[in-house]
Amino acid sequence: ARGAAPGDGTFPETALYETAIAAANRLKPAFVVVTGDLVQDSDNEAQHSELMRISAQLDHNIPLYLTTGNCDVGNTPSAESLRIYREKFGNDNYSFDFHGSHFIVLNSSICLDPSEVPEEWDSLVDFVRSDLDAHSPTSKHTIMFMHHPLFADSADDPNRDIRYIPRERRSVLLSQLRKHEASGVFTGHWHENHYSSDGDMLMIISGPVGYPLGDDPSGLRIVKVYDDRIEHEYFGMDDLPNTVELKSAIGRASSTH
């Protein structure tokens, strides 16, 4: 499936999101995460209304966790863009727990370029440190969700415009993730799949629910979290499974972008 041209933010992108929500209702994951770019135009109230209308179709017993993307607050977020986002969606940096594992959600636009809001970067780093110090020692897994990837193939990747987090802030986040032996980081932004790692820590970039920019179709990723490992697989919208088999997993999370 291929969505509307980039920039439209309209049908068939809304139809694809409805398909993703319907799949979640059928598969009944532990929770659903949308890894950013909730709308194409953050000033467009019609797009926001459609997002909320379709999101409300998700079974109310399945938590939905939203992640901030550059289309939501800008590649260089401002105090005003952050204020508007938070008024609409609530906290953009937060965490939650499920069955002994800890999950942390970050606003990666602040990590990408905090030049207009340097205090927001300081606050984000303080949050990450205090949150992981408090939760990861007792967690089976620590998993991070955000929109921009930390890197493409290696922690030493050079800076590359808005493709991923610059090294000076990437290193700060990676040091905390390594310290707490995080299991994985799940992101979006590229509109295509890409896989790498940092030691044993998975670095997973998922393709989009909406418009693809690579060879991967519109789709979603199903993640299975076991006590000793994490398994994940990306499915195109035309190939979504009817059921998901679990082998003593703590749960499964459906990750969409």
According to DSSP, residue 148 is labeled S
Q: What is the pLDDT of residue 10?
A: 63
4 in a domain, yes or no? Answer: no
Q: Percent of the chain having pLDDT more than 70? A: 92
Is 237 contained in some domain?
yes
Which residues constitute the domain of residue 51? 13-256
- pLDDT reported for residue 12: 80
CATH number where 252 lies: 3.60.21.10
Query: HSE-up of 2 (CA within 13 Å, CB side)?
Result: 7
Count of other CB atoms within 10 angstroms of residue 59: 14
CA nearest 188: which of 222, 218, 145, 156? 145
| Domain annotation covers residue 5 | no
Residue 160's pLDDT is what?
86
Q: How much is the average pLDDT of 155-168? A: 94
How do residues 69-104 score in pLDDT, each as one tens digit? Answer: 999 999 999 999 999 999 999 999 999 999 999 999
61 belongs to a structural domain: yes
Tell me if 123 is assigned to some domain.
Answer: yes
pLDDT tens digit sequence for 18-66: 999 999 999 999 999 999 999 999 999 999 999 999 999 999 999 999 9
Q: Is residue 73 part of a domain?
A: yes
| Per-residue pLDDT band at 239 (split at 50, 70, 90) | very high
Q: Is 2 inside a domain boundary?
A: no
Tell me which amino acid residue 211 is.
Answer: Y
Are 230 and 223 spatial neighbours (Cβ–Cβ below 8 Å)? yes
Distance between start and end Cα atoms, the chain: 15
User: Under DSSP, is residue 230 helix (H, G, I), strand (E, B) or coil?
Assistant: strand
Among the residue ranges 1-10, 50-59, 67-76, 115-124, the one predicted with the least confidence is 1-10
Tell me the whole-structure pTM to 2 decimals.
0.92
6 in a structural domain: no
Question: What average pLDDT score do residues 3-25 get?
Answer: 78
Number of domains into which the chain is organized: 1
